[in-house]
Structure 1
């Protein structure tokens, strides 16, 4: 039986992963979204759209401030997921991709975000195990989630 009361949850086998199907894990701790982090993300990706990096111009926008890139919040998914689900009991794990991604709400710079995750499915595939995880990123003070994504991971049992 996998202990879901202590985070991160640490399954070690296919059977233990299947026990987690339907379990919501989280939330994670809060992650502060700063202008410096958003600017660094813009530099790495080359996406310098003014709504993300120009506080003066963004002040006159409907948001009243700069907002983080949707992909910034999505990119934090693996690190935040690791706060909830540790796959270190497996030989290795890797991010296999995403089935669905939506950005229903903005993330104003200066706000905080956190993640809740639910194991959607676990199945044996050639070479290992595939895990589908529904990730919901919420922004403090917002009624809408800011990211809803279905991430796919692959792991190999030890």
Structure 2
């Protein structure tokens, strides 16, 4: 469920838990498209037969593919009305905790850790966790930085 707030109300959002996104299946097609986009065709990602014999028993998503899902998931969780520009400003910290096997379901939970005024807008530091359905450990833990300008 998307939390939607007015730009005038963003300053006090630090500590807001945005909840969870819907689950998303990580398909072999998605992994292959990411491999094509990044020219990273390592067998552990794109060769299901060989990957089945590898250390994870199946092909796995690229760590950066798992991380890139934060963009999709972030927009599912949060929106600000009354802004002219939204910018993915970067990351403060990223950890790839567990591999995501092809066929796994993932989702993201997020908490707005900080809201800082910047020239012309606000910057949000958001603690994001990509979870794997049924797994003890998450796939990715990251602090994303997003800016909203009036």
Corresponding position of 1:11 = 5
**More off after superposition, 23-32 vs 37-46:** 23-32
Contact 1:11-1:17 at 8 Å conserved across structures: yes
Contact 1:10-1:89 at 8 Å conserved across structures: no
Corresponding position of 2:138 = 145
Across the aligned residues of Structure 1 and Structure 2, the Cα RMSD in angstroms comes to 1.2
* Distance (Å, rounded) in 2 between the aligned partners of 1:89 and 1:104: 36
Contact 2:125-2:146 at 8 Å conserved across structures: yes
Contact 1:67-1:106 at 8 Å conserved across structures: yes
Moved over 6 A (4+): none
When normalised by structure 2's length, the TM-score is 0.95
Corresponding position of 2:91 = 98
* Distance (Å, rounded) in 2 between the aligned partners of 1:111 and 1:98: 25
Q: Secondary structure at the match of 1:47?
A: coil
Residues 1:27 and 2:51 are matched in the alignment = no
Aligned length: 150
Q: Secondary structure at the match of 1:51?
A: helix
> Structure 1: which 5+ residue stretches go unaligned?
1-6
* Distance (Å, rounded) in 2 between the aligned partners of 1:81 and 1:116: 9
* Distance (Å, rounded) in 2 between the aligned partners of 1:73 and 1:126: 31
* Distance (Å, rounded) in 2 between the aligned partners of 1:89 and 1:9: 14
Corresponding position of 1:82 = 75
When normalised by structure 1's length, the TM-score is 0.90
Deviation of residue 79 (structure 1)? Answer: 1.1
**More off after superposition, 124-133 vs 136-145:** 124-133
